[in-house]
Amino acid sequence: MCGIAGWINYENVQASELTQLKEMTDSLYRRGMDGEGFYMNKDIAFGHRRLAIIDVENGAQPMTVEYQEAKFTIIYNGELYHMQEVRNYLIEQGHAFQTTCDTEVVVHAYAHWGADCLDHLNGIFAFAIWDEEKREVFLARDRLGVKPLFYAEKSNAFYFASEIKALLKVPTIRPIVDQEGLSEIFGLGPSRTPGHAVFKQIQELEAGHAMLIKPSSVEKWRYWQVKSEPHHDSLEETIEKVRELFINAVEGQLVSDVPVGTFLSGGLDSSAITAVAANYLQDREQTTLKTFSIDYQGNEEYFQTSTFQPNNDRDFKALISEKYETKHKDFFIDEQTLATYLQESVHVRDVPGMADIDSSLLWFCEQVKDEVSVGLSGECADEIFGGYPWFQAEESYSNFPWIRSLERRNALLRPEWRKKLQLDKYIQKRFQDTIADTPLLEGESEQDERRRQLFYVNMQWFMAQLLERKDRMSMGATLEVRVPFADHYLVEYLWNVPWEMKQLDGEEKGLLRKSMEGLLPDEIVHRKKSPYPKTFQPLYEKLVRVKAEKMLVDPEARIFEIVSKEAFRNLMDHESTFETPWYGQLMAGPQLLAHLWQIDYWMRAYHIEVEG
């Protein structure tokens, strides 16, 4: 993976602006420490940071290719999983290649098909291509939004970058957060409305979208969407198809010229990826698969079961590692490090995140990076198979089911902001907008239609949040992480599989479990879902409380411009009774205090200008 940044200004890019381009690109240093490159002419400025994965020696960017007397320059962040297939086809059509990297395949694909090249690309990506003859820049982002891309239009120029921090290096783009941005933070956070970047002057190119910047116009369109169609496969055919698509996705994502490993929690999703990857490498007599997991010092002593975390991961990880003969490493983070990384994870994400769920993941990715440069992870299985508890509950269909804390969110705000933001209405509108956008199937029952809408809401919101977290925290450690369950062929197929099949035998993700029989041990196949681990160590709560107490008495604290001090004190006094998570399944108790501390830190560190 890499980092890209640049701008288009048809009123002339000055060579003297190279300093600004370097500042934007340098801010993305963590996304690619293997090299940097720049390209400027009178219309555009392109900057690139490289993390070398394929053709390490020859894949430097920006990359310029010529085809039929036309010239194209690309900056690219991503990975193609069927690169050789597309490359071979283009060679047959007369294209000549100088490298074996996928960057060159993408730019040749655009030279050949134009914007329709996106229909031929299977992978995760965000890129910009300059067509010198037409004086146009083409921007695109992958179907599920695994790789990020933000943009801003300011002072006759169009700016873009992999991360918000790069855009904030532009002097005319200020860190303004208006009422809408505050509603995102305090009402929907840490998730975001697709296309909304929290900052007033910055937008996000949505997943599955592309843009074309011309001298006279800027066009944006959606090039991919799930399609609702009748599912005709039998149960047996469906099980076999899911197994085939999943194995193809994992094996396709093992392509790399650098070491690859998997994240292994011992749960169904990560174990399935590990099993396929280990078998693939062993069959080809390649290197032994490395697997990695994270836990917290002291969790064995303090672990508590709950609806969301019914058991510990330790024995299940060992079972998979032994069966598939992986080289496994457990990394244990201490509570002081966990609390310290709360600050760094904000800088990596550019907005307040998921507290210690972010900070532990950032630290974990740094440890993994010492072992491999590419990791495969199990995100997105629950969103496409319906693995969360809220898929079972009828009340989940009326609003975002991972935000059950709206009353508490409102209660924390100062009265004037509660009146201005009207979080209830804001959240409900965002929910209804997504529901209205759902591709429906004519003739479905009302219940099936509502469940399809819930799957769509999960894909657009909760899955997007998890993918954002994984991208920022992994790239913050200069580690490329791939997510096989976000393979668009698998997503498209499962979109139309009936709920009765997904919930086979009354088990959550029953279809996935059935498709993994024979590949995984029965103990794993039927293990109840357990999410990303959190700490139960009392010391962490003490450390977070110290941070919160200091913030409460600090006259420079920014959060109390929006949040009531009295409400915050009350939260601290009764925090142990706050059992309903602020977001998702785990953000309660000390995780909530840490999240609020992150908001205050973000407002200070990013010099947020509140506009109300």
Q: How confident is the model at residue 533 (pLDDT cuts 50, 70, 90)?
A: low
The reply to whether omega before 190 is within 30° of 0 (cis) is yes
Are the C-beta atoms of residues 16 and 10 closer than 8 Å to each other? no
On the question of a cis peptide bond just before residue 62, with omega within 30 degrees of 0, the verdict is: yes
Domains 2-222 and 235-393+466-525 share a fold: no
The closest of 242, 262, 269, 409 to 327, measured between CA atoms, is: 262
Looking at residue 578, its pLDDT comes to 58
Choosing from 2, 117, 365, 380, the catalytic residue is 2
User: Can you give the pLDDT at residue 589?
Assistant: 83
- Given CATH 3.30.70.520, say whether it is the number of domain 2-222: no
C-alpha 372 chain-centroid distance: 20
Q: What pLDDT is stored for residue 300 in this prediction?
A: 64
Least confident of 285-299, 485-499, 510-524: 285-299
Residue 40 has pLDDT above 60, yes or no: yes
Helix axes 423-437, 446-457, angle to 10 degrees: 110
Nearest to 24 by CA among 193, 195, 152: 152
- Domain residue ranges of the chain, discontinuous segments joined by +: 2-222, 235-393+466-525, 538-607
Rounded to a whole number of angstroms, the CA Rg of the chain reads 24
**pLDDT for position 539:** 86
Write the pLDDT tens digit of every residue in 21-31. Answer: 999 999 999 99
pLDDT score recorded for residue 142 = 98
Alpha-carbon distance 69 to 66, whole Å?
A: 6
Average pLDDT over residues 221-231: 98
Would you place residue 531 in the very low, low, confident or very high pLDDT band (cuts 50, 70, 90)? Answer: low
The H or E element containing residue 123 is strand 123-131
The edge-to-edge listing of strands for the beta sheet with 136-141 is 63-67, 70-80, 123-131, 136-141, 209-213, 218-222
pLDDT score recorded for residue 1 = 67
Distance CA 528, CA 268 (A): 8
User: Residues of 350-370 as b/e, b for ≥16 C-beta within 10 angstroms?
Assistant: bbbbbbbbbbbbbbbbbbbbe
In the block, which residue shows the tokens 């083409």?
138
Using an 8 Å Cβ cutoff, are 139 and 205 in contact? yes
Confidence check: pLDDT of 465 > 60: yes
> What average pLDDT does the structure give for the chain?
92
pLDDT at 453: 96
Residue-wise pLDDT for 47-102, tens only, equals: 999 887 776 777 889 999 999 989 999 999 999 998 999 999 999 999 999 999 99
Distance CA 516, CA 493 (A): 17
pLDDT at 304: 55
Cβ count within 10 A of residue 14: 11
Tell me what the mean pLDDT of segment 222-238 comes to. Answer: 98
Q: Please say if the pLDDT value at position 311 is more than 60.
A: no
- Average pLDDT score over residue span 10-31: 89
For 189-211, the three-class secondary structure string (H helix, E strand, C coil) is CCCCCCCECCCCCCEECCCCEEE
Given a cut of 80, whether residue 387 has pLDDT beyond it is yes
Q: Which strand (E) or helix (H) includes residue 381? A: helix 381-385
Q: Report pLDDT for 370.
A: 96
pLDDT the model gives residue 407: 87
DSSP letters of 387-453?
Answer: -SGGGT-GGGGGS-TT---HHHHHHHB-HHHHHHH-HHHHHHHHHHHHHHHS---TT--HHHHHHHH
End-to-end CA distance of the chain: 38
469: left (phi over 0), alpha (psi -120 to 50) or beta: alpha
pLDDT digits (tens, 9 = 90+) for 130-179: 999 999 999 999 999 999 999 999 888 999 999 999 999 999 999 999 99
Ranking 68-82, 441-455, 570-584 by mean pLDDT, the lowest is 570-584
451 pLDDT band, cuts 50/70/90, is very high
Length of the chain: 612
Res. 458 pLDDT band, cuts 50 70 90: very high
Could you tell me the two tokens for 255?
């392509």
**Bridge pairing between strands 609-610 and 35-40:** unpaired
Is 537 or 600 the better-scoring residue by pLDDT? 600
- Listed in sequence order, the residues at least 6 apart from 41 whose beta carbon sits closer than 8 Å to its beta carbon are 13, 132
Under 8 Å between Cβ of 97 and 111: no
User: Pairing relation of β-strands 150-154 and 203-204?
Assistant: antiparallel
DSSP 31: G
Question: Do 290 and 533 touch, CB atoms closer than 8 A?
Answer: no
Chain centre to alpha carbon of residue 291? 21
494-500: average pLDDT: 97
Average pLDDT over residues 203-224: 97
For the residues 231-256, what does the mean pLDDT come to? 96
Give the pLDDT of residue 14. 75
**314: confidence class by pLDDT, cuts 50, 70, 90:** confident
- pLDDT of 508 reads 92
Select from 144, 139, 151 the least CA-distant residue to 106.
Answer: 139
Q: What is the pLDDT of residues 504-514, one digit of tens each?
A: 999 999 999 99
Question: How would residue 528 be classed by pLDDT, with cut points 50, 70 and 90?
Answer: confident
Per-residue pLDDT for 447 more than 60?
A: yes
Q: What pLDDT, on a 0 to 100 scale, did the predictor assign at position 256?
A: 84
Class (C level, CATH) for 235-393+466-525: alpha beta
Q: Which residues pair with 47 in a beta bridge?
A: 5, 38
Integer Cα distance of 167 and 205 in angstroms: 14
Active site residue 2: yes
β-strand pairing of 327-333 with 290-296: parallel
What is the structure's pLDDT at 332? 94
pLDDT of 34: 87
Q: pLDDT digits over 96-114, tens only?
A: 999 999 999 999 999 999 9
pLDDT at 544: 93
pLDDT of residue 319: 93
Q: Tokens standing for 306?
A: 């709950």
* Model pLDDT, residue 534: 66
The proportion of the chain whose per-residue pLDDT surpasses 70, expressed as a percent, equals 95
Let me know the angle formed at the C-alpha of 341 by 336 and 342, rounded to the nearest 5 degrees: 105
> 225 or 584: whose pLDDT is higher?
225
Instruction: Quickly state the pLDDT bin for 312 (edges 50, 70, 90).
Output: low
Within 8 A by CB and 6+ apart from 347, the residues are: 165, 605
User: How far is 489 from 447, CA to CA, in rounded Å?
Assistant: 26
